[in-house]
A and B are shown apart, each in its own frame.
Chain A
Amino acid sequence: GAGVSQSPSNKVTEKGKDVELRCDPISGHTALYWYRQSLGQGLEFLIYFQGNSAPDKSGLPSDRFSAERTGGSVSTLTIQRTQQEDSAVYLCASSHQPQGYTGELFFGEGSRLTVL
């Protein structure tokens, strides 16, 4: 597609439910990133994919968070047993990033998660 696409754009869920957030990167982009932006806070790095592998999972806040990427394209961020503190905007970005080089990051519009 023309840009990074994220779905759903808005998700309201009850505490304790699982949610899945989807990111469809720009075609051909090898690197994919997930960030979280809480109200009044900066962007918090969650996880980074190069192809289908995740060299850096250091930002995942707890074992309730997981992410996968298949076919070097679409990625899914899963949050299990959601808590109110998980409420935030989850942003995905992609980049054309051959090994050893980092290119410009392009962001999606984000998925706004509200946990009641």
Chain B
Amino acid sequence: KQEVTQIPAALSVPEGENLVLNCSFTDSAIYNLQWFRQDPGKGLTSLLLIQSSQREQTSGRLNASLDKSSGRSTLYIAASQPGDSATYLCAVYGGSQGNLIFGKGTKLSVKP
């Protein structure tokens, strides 16, 4: 059974810092991995989707990498801003499951 773990559970940094969020999964037979952002009381916003054949995706200040063989992904946020404060969720899709399996998220706080 696929399990997704995100470390750390919470992170507080000063504005301007570069930071890395980690995601690990137990079954490397995935089709893709997706990073989401969730603001309090809101739904999930898709940030980046990495297909299993890809190693990384970039969008603005965000860069996500995928190492399928080791079951790991990282989300790199450059020059963090207070507006980046949110919970970041990682999810993997394994074809036989027909759904995304989510980690419990990393709650990020960027202090001005």
Chain B associates with chain A: yes
Residues A70-116 near B (CB distance < 8 A): 91, 93, 100, 102-110
User: Does B44 lie within 8 Å of A91, measured CB to CB?
Assistant: yes
Neighbour of A102 across the interface among B95, B101, B102, CB < 8 A: B95
Chain A residues with CB below 8 A from B45, complex form: 107
CB pair B99 A106 closer than 8 Å: no
Per-residue contact bits, chain B 45-80, to A (CB 8 Å; 1 contact, 0 not): 110010000000000000000000000000000000
How far, in angstroms, from A69 to B44 measured CA to CA in the complex? 22
**Interface residue tally of chain B, by bracket?**
20 to 34
User: Of A12-20, A37-45, A60-68, which binds chain B?
Assistant: A37-45
With the chains together, A17 CA to B104 CA distance in Å? 30
Q: Check A42–B103 contact: CB distance below 8 A.
A: yes
Shortest C-beta distance, A50 to chain B (Å), equals 8
Whether a CB of chain A sits under 8 angstroms from the CB of B93 is: yes
Residue among B45, B99, B105 with the highest chain A CB neighbour number at 10 A:
B99
Give complex CA distance A103, B105 in Å. Answer: 21
Question: Given the complex, which residues of A lie within 8 Å of B21, measured CB to CB?
Answer: none
Residue B81 at the chain A interface, CB threshold 8 Å: no
Q: How far is the CB of A62 from chain B (nearest CB, A)?
A: 18
**CB-contact partner of A33 in B31, B89, B99, B103, under 8 A:** B99
B residues whose Cβ falls under 8 Å from a Cβ of A: 31-32, 34, 36, 42-46, 49, 89, 91, 93, 95, 97-105
- Residues of chain A at the chain B interface (Cβ within 8 Å): 4, 6, 33, 35, 41-43, 45, 48, 50, 55-56, 59, 91, 93, 100, 102-110
